[in-house]
Amino acid sequence: MTTIQDLATPATNTWCPGCGNFGITIAFKRAIVQLGLEPEEVVATSGIGCHGKITGYVNVNGFHTIHGRVLPVATAIKLANNGLTVVGFAGDGDGYNIGMGHLPHAARRNHDITYVVHNNLIYGLTTGQASPTSKVGRRTRTTPRGVFEPPINPLSIALSSSASFVARGYAGDVQHLTELFVEAMSFTGFALVDVLQPCVSWDRIQTYQFYGERVYKLKEEGHDPSDLMAAHRRALEWGERIPIGVFYKKERPPYRENFPFLEGTPLARRGLDPDISGLLGEFS
Amino acid sequence: MSLTGIIGNSLSILVGGEAGQGITRSGSLLGRAIMRGGFHIFGANDYPSIIRGGHNLYLLRASDEEISSQYDLIDLILALNKETLLLHVDELNEGGGVIYDERMEIREGEISRKDVKRYPVPLSGIVEEIGGVPIMRNTVALGAALGLVGYDLEFLDGAIATTFEGRDAIIESNVKAAKMGYDYVAEHYGGDFSCRLAPFKDRPERIMLTGNDAVALGAVQAGCGFFVAYPMTPASPVLHYLINNDMETGMVVVQPESEISAINMVIGASYAGVRAMTATSGGGFSLMTEALGLAAMSENPVVVMVGQRPGPSTGMATYSAQGDLLFIIHSSQGEFPRVVVAPGDVEECFYSTMEAFNVAEKLQIPAIIITDKYLIESHKSTAPFDLSRVGIDRGDLLEIEEWEGDGEYERYALTKSGVSLRLKPGTKGAFLRANSTEHDAKGFSTIDPSTIEEMTEKQRRKRVSLEELVVTLNPVRAYGGDDPDITIVGWGSTKGPVLEAIKMLEREGISARFVQPVYIEPFPVEAMMDELSGGGRFLLVEANKTAQLGELIRLHTGFTFDNVHLRYDGRPFNPGEIRDKAKEAMR
């Protein structure tokens, strides 16, 4: 049985004290334990930004990739070895700005991975520039007159892109976040978990207190996650009340099932014994 | 002799018409029919980047000896529209012929040359008579062409049957159309045309394919399990071929949202332990360069084929160039080892692709196969590939059950060769921490100065190991006499026209040699110095404006070329122009 202790690594943690990344990391470890996964069967991939260090802090297979490219790497790992549980971690800058082009496609293809976006509404590691989820009017180092443009709504985009599992968690509620991770990682298909995460260094507005006063759980208000239109309506809510939980969930065949020859032994575990003799006829 | 051309044992046929008229298919069909009679063929296409309208051509050359490019002049034109006739009539050899639809109106003076033999054929009339679709005029013309040179129609029938396999009605009507074209010409112009073509009795087995086909087959034979590519001319046919044969090969083939996604998916699959590849052209490769560094830093082997076309930017999508060599050798930030291989014909496309997978995995580095449109879209006949020549060598990679679990696994363990043991994720008791950030032996991010030095030196040792490996792969190949009057140096697709030019020079009593660096990065310094140390004159031939291979040779050997022939109009070299430049260089 995997324990929380098994998932510790010797790496020195360099996140700011109080960072929401700690809550996300703890929830991820707990989800692995609760799901009874062997650490060797899990692959965590991350991009560039504060979140990206998570692959060094959890003792599973890891791939710390480049800025914005978590999804292509993670989806390919899963296609290549279906026996692995693959979780991609990205930030709002990483996943919703430079890497945004990948999200709709990973969602509509329904790759069987979990995609966790550490959404702190700011660029942290590069010291406080606006992110695509920064709110209008917010002053940052790159928006001296305030953010001009309205923020990205990642949940609406995922829902519009036929994502089969769309959820939002809050880094300040680790128990709820753990439940979401367990549900997402055991779901067959593409699962987006957007995680609201206060940035203690660069954000004095969207603090733990701010979220603590506003978040509410969809489950407690009778939201039906199979209702796509209701999910779309809830995804638009942001203000005095901010919903967290599973917005939408509906299984459909994952991408790999389009390749009948992938059934059985994972591709990565097959021996190589190619022979093109049978293919040469059309060239003769 | 089984083949009599206007000049020697070479027959060149140009099939031309509008885009959308199936010009390349018709030309390659004719090539297949002629190859099956025991001949060698070479076929190149020329088309603008439009789907319908605009002028397309396919230039087919056949001979009873091995040939490697088109010729400067044409013997016979199959003009499926008038533009073809007017554009190319001046490229005809003395006494060359033109087959065209008898309904095509040719006004007085439009064809000024009196020597041109005109063969109007009722292309449309025959199609209408048998109730066919207009595109079948091509088939009538193919039949007419074979009638004119007295070839056996059964070979065309066979090629039609192969091309349209499973579509019996189409086969039947095309066979009929070809026969009517053939019979018409035999009746009206029998014996009039000086070129003759008679099938050999002994016909060795041959295949006819493009460089793209050969790269795709090489990937399959190398055990590539994962191919991801975004469509980009001229490399898209690799994607088309592999995706249409995935059920036979068991290869996962994906068309993703961008080239950036393609290369990153390839890296992900490689991390998981699968041989993986992508193919693109210069623009797509530009998008891939950041991830090329990721592959290098994380030490995940990848194979990338880059089919060059003229740049900068969109350039000319459907034409050829060799302008990306220095870019590809230096692309992506930082210092890291990579291998760049430049095959020069379809055989080298096949074997180089297989080798690229081995080199990539043995050194855990990116391997780039640099080609160009002329190489990867032109057809060439060849003996069936030797499937045992290049084996599969995955280097220091252990299967999941092979890891003994002694001690803690270090993905980036420091070794003498620089290459670390590679495991697949899922291996019991081992964690694979791949990292784009500078890292320690276990893969944890680090900024420790001595660790950084060690890791940088590890990459450098890999480069040295790579140099040692490349030396064993016959990196510089040479053709022709050992004591030449002139040595022609070139790379990639120039091989074909240069070899033809050498034949021409030798017929004139000039001894010539072709030197072709096939592995260009790491640069094969010693082998190249050997080739450049002889007597005689030297001529560099490249399809770019800045003589990029020449720059590399100067950088690594100090050798400079007095004679340089560059072409940068998107079109392939003709053998005759290289012969002329060689003779100029000898003055």
pLDDT digits (tens, 9 = 90+) for A113-130: 999 999 999 999 999 999
Which residues of chain A are within 8 Å of residue B209 when distances are taken between CB atoms? 283
As a whole number, mean pLDDT of residues B357-382 equals: 98
Per-residue exposure over B293-310, b if at least 16 CB sit within 10 Å of its own CB, e if not: bbbbbbbbbbbbbbbbbb
Residue at which a domain ends, from B438, B456, B471: B471
A6-20, A36-50, B51-65, B234-248: the lowest-pLDDT one: B51-65
Residues B89-112 have a mean pLDDT of: 93
- Spell out which residues of chain A touch residue B264, defining contact as CB-CB under 8 Å: 65-66, 69, 72-73, 76
For residues B81 and B185, membership in a common domain is answered with yes
3-state helix, strand, coil in chain B (%, to 5): 40, 20, 40
Chain B: nearest CA to A12, how far in angstroms? 10
Domains in chain A, number: 1
Boundaries of domain holding B431: 400-471
Residue count of chain A: 284
Domain assignment present for B110: yes
Identify which of B196, B134, B182 has the alpha carbon closest to the alpha carbon of residue B154: B182
* Paired tokens of A78: 């899963």
Residue A72: per-residue pLDDT: 98
Q: Do A284 and B425 touch (CB under 8 A)?
A: no
Which positions in chain B touch A79 (Cβ < 8 Å)?
Answer: 226, 252, 254, 269
B481 pLDDT band, cuts 50/70/90, is confident
Residue B18 makes CB contacts below 8 A (sequence gap 6+) with: B52, B53, B54, B55, B56, B80, B81, B83
pLDDT digits (tens, 9 = 90+) for B518-527: 999 999 999 9
Structural domain span for residue A185: 5-283
| Beta strand segments in B19-125, E | 40-46, 55-63, 74-79, 92-101, 117-121
Tens digits of residue pLDDT in B485-512? 999 999 999 999 999 999 999 999 999 9
CB of B275 within 8 Å of a chain A CB? The answer is yes
- In a shared domain, residues B544 and B491: yes
Spatial separation of the C-alpha atoms in residues A138 and A210, rounded to whole Å: 15
Q: Is it the case that residue B1 has pLDDT exceeding 70?
A: no
In chain B, what residues touch A275 (CB-CB under 8 Å)?
221, 387
Residue B390 belongs to a domain: no
CB nearest to A40's CB, from B261, B276, B428:
B428
pLDDT tens digits along A82-102? 999 999 999 999 999 999 999
Same domain, residue pair B194 and B214: no
Q: Is B425 on the interface with A (CB under 8 A)?
A: yes
| Residue B387 counted as domain residue | no
Query: What's the CATH number where A67 sits?
Result: 3.40.50.970
Name the minimum distance, in Å, from the CA of A211 to any CA of chain B.
32
Percent of chain B residues topping a pLDDT of 90: 93
B385-396 pLDDT, tens digit each: 999 999 999 999
What's the mean per-residue pLDDT of chain B?
96
Q: Mean pLDDT throughout A134-156?
A: 97
Which element (helix H / strand E) includes B542?
strand B537-542
What CA–CA distance (Å, rounded) separates B222 from B390? 9
What residues of chain B lie within 8 A of the CB of A101, using their CB? 257-258, 260-261
Q: Residue B293 — pLDDT band, cuts 50, 70, 90?
A: very high
A66 CB neighbours in chain B (<8 A) are 264, 290-291, 293-294, 436
Which residue's entry shows tokens 């081992």?
Answer: B430
User: Across the interface, do A279 and B220 touch by the CB < 8 Å criterion?
Assistant: yes
Could you report the per-residue pLDDT of A206-235, keeping only the tens digit for each? 999 999 999 999 999 999 999 999 999 999
**CA distance to partner chain A, nearest, from residue B513 (Å):** 31
DSSP state, residue A135: P
Is B268's CB within 8 Å of A273's CB? no
* B158 close contact with A: CB closer than 8 A: no
Asked, for residue B405, whether it belongs to a domain, the answer is yes
User: CB contact, 8 Å: B207 with chain A?
Assistant: yes
Q: Are residues B184 and B61 in the same domain?
A: yes
**Does the beta-carbon distance from A63 to B385 stay under 8 Å?**
no
Whole-number mean pLDDT of chain A?
97
Instruction: Evaluate whether residue B420 is within a structural domain.
Output: yes
Nearest by CB to B220, from A45, A56, A276: name it.
A276
B168 and B82 both lie in a single domain: yes
Which residues, in sequence order, are bridge partners of residue B98? Answer: B77, B118
Our CA-based measurement puts residue A279 at a distance from the nearest CA of chain B, in whole angstroms, of 8
Q: Are residues B40 and B140 in the same domain?
A: yes
CA distance A131 to chain B (A): 21
The confidence score (pLDDT) of residue B48 equals 83
Q: Residue A229 burial (CB < 10 Å; 0-12/13-18/19+)?
A: exposed
Residue B428 is encoded by which pair of tokens?
């019991």
- The answer on B162 and B53 residing in a single domain is yes
Looking at the structure, do residues B67 and B151 belong to the same domain, yes or no?
yes
Q: Based on the structure, what is the number of domains in chain B? A: 4
B47/B135 same-domain check: yes
pLDDT at A62 over 60: yes
What would you measure as the largest C-alpha separation in chain B, in angstroms?
A: 89
Residues B332, B411: one domain?
A: no
Cβ of A81 within 8 Å of Cβ of B425? The answer is yes
Residue B109 scores a pLDDT above 90:
no
DSSP code, position A220: G
- Distance (Å, whole) CA A9 – CA B28: 61
Residues B546 and B448 in one domain: no
Q: What is the ipTM of this complex?
A: 0.98
Quote the pLDDT of residue B150: 95
Task: Select the residue from A54, A63, A261 to test the B interface by mutation, using most B Cβ atoms within 10 A.
Answer: A63
In degrees, to the nearest 5, what angle opens at C-alpha B135 toward C-alphas B133 and B140? Answer: 95
The predicted structure's pLDDT at residue B53: 67
Contact A65 B436 (CB under 8 A): yes
Across the strands, what pairs with B119? B99
- Co-location of B466 and B486 in the same domain: no
